[in-house]
Structures are given as C-alpha cells and as structure tokens.
Amino acid sequence: MYPLWVRVALLLLAIVLLLLCISQYQRINKQLRAQHAMQKATITTSELKPTKAQMTVLTQLKEIETELNVPWLELLSELEQLKAEHPEIMFNSIEPNREKRMLKVTAQVDEFGKVVNFITAMRTCPFFSDVSLVQHESKQRLKRSSDQATIEFAFMARWQANAQ
C-alpha cells in the first residue's frame, strides 16, 4: 500500500490530466464547428446540381436497383412450402431474372421420379407458371459401402406479376 501523500499526488495528477483532456476536447470541438460552418457557407446551388457523369452513375444504379428488386419474400415462401411437401429436394442455387420474372433453380435429389413429382407440384402452384425442367444429370457418388446416384437438375419458372 502506498503512503497517503503518494495516493493524493496520483489523484491530483489524474484530475489535472482529466481537465487537460476536457480542455483539448473543447478546443478541437470548437475548431470542427468553425470548419463546418465555413464549409456550409461556401456551398452554392450550382455545386448541388449533378454532373453528366453523376447522372449516368445514378441511372446505372437505378437499373441495378430494379434488377435487384425481386419479390424475395414471396419467392422463398413458395419455394419453402414446396420444399416442405418434398423434403428430399436439396436446392443448390436460386437465380431470379426480375426483367423476365423468371426463376432458375438448381437442385438435387436421389431419384428421378422425385424430380418429376417436384416439377408437377411446381406446375400446380398458382404462384408459378411456365415451369419447365431445363437440365438433369445423374452423378454417381460413393457413400460408405453402397453406391448412390444423385440427380442434379435445373428448372425454370415464371412468377406471377402481382408478386412484385
């Protein structure tokens, strides 16, 4: 344990350092406010008008936003409902095309009959139309002591316009 005079000296030193920090903070804050006020005063209305290059970028960003503005909630909800009815289906990828309202899905399953059943279920779903199997491939894979075939397939479907 330190003597009383050392503890008092350390306390006074800490208070002095705290006061110096507060003083420095106030000085820097005052300078920043002055700089902000200066910058605000120098902005003119001509500087606020976008240039041609900025307009081009804005147009491109709006196009990208439109492309990315896909009704994900509805699409995934419908696919989850179909997946619940066909739990053996394993989705690999989901690729929407907003402009055409088309969805390309790749998936896999262990039997081709299950592919047919799933595509048939997709066709009866009112949310989707123009459902078609566009690719399928059987791949052999070793699973412990027995060989098991996996069917990888892709299908396309159009989602309803009112889902947007």
pLDDT per residue over 19-63, tens digit each? 888 989 899 999 998 888 887 777 655 566 778 888 898 888 887
Torsions phi, psi of 51, nearest 5? -80, 175
Under DSSP, the state recorded for 161 is G
State which of 36-40, 87-91, 142-146 shows the largest mean pLDDT.
87-91
| pLDDT (tens digit per residue) in 59-79 | 888 877 766 677 888 888 999
Task: Answer for the pair 152, 139: CB distance below 8 angstroms, yes or no.
Answer: yes
Q: Please compute Rg for the chain using Cα positions.
A: 32
C-alpha distances out from residue 122 to 70, 96, 131, 156, Å? 19, 16, 7, 10
pLDDT category, 82, cuts 50, 70, 90?
very high
Domain 71-163, CATH number (from 3.30.70.60, 3.20.20.10, 3.30.1360.100, 3.30.930.10) = 3.30.1360.100
| pLDDT (tens digit per residue) in 102-127 | 999 999 999 999 999 999 999 999 99
Mean pLDDT to the nearest integer, 5-23: 88
Residue 162 has pLDDT above 80, yes or no: no
Distance CA 126, CA 74 (A): 12
Distance CA 100, CA 164 (A): 12
Task: Answer for the pair 158, 100: CB distance below 8 angstroms, yes or no.
Answer: yes
pLDDT of 43 = 63
Instruction: Provide the residue type at 160 as one letter.
Output: Q
User: Encoding tokens for residue 26?
Assistant: 């106030």
> Is 122 buried (19+), middle (13-18) or exposed (0-12) by CB count in 10 A?
buried
pTM score: 0.55
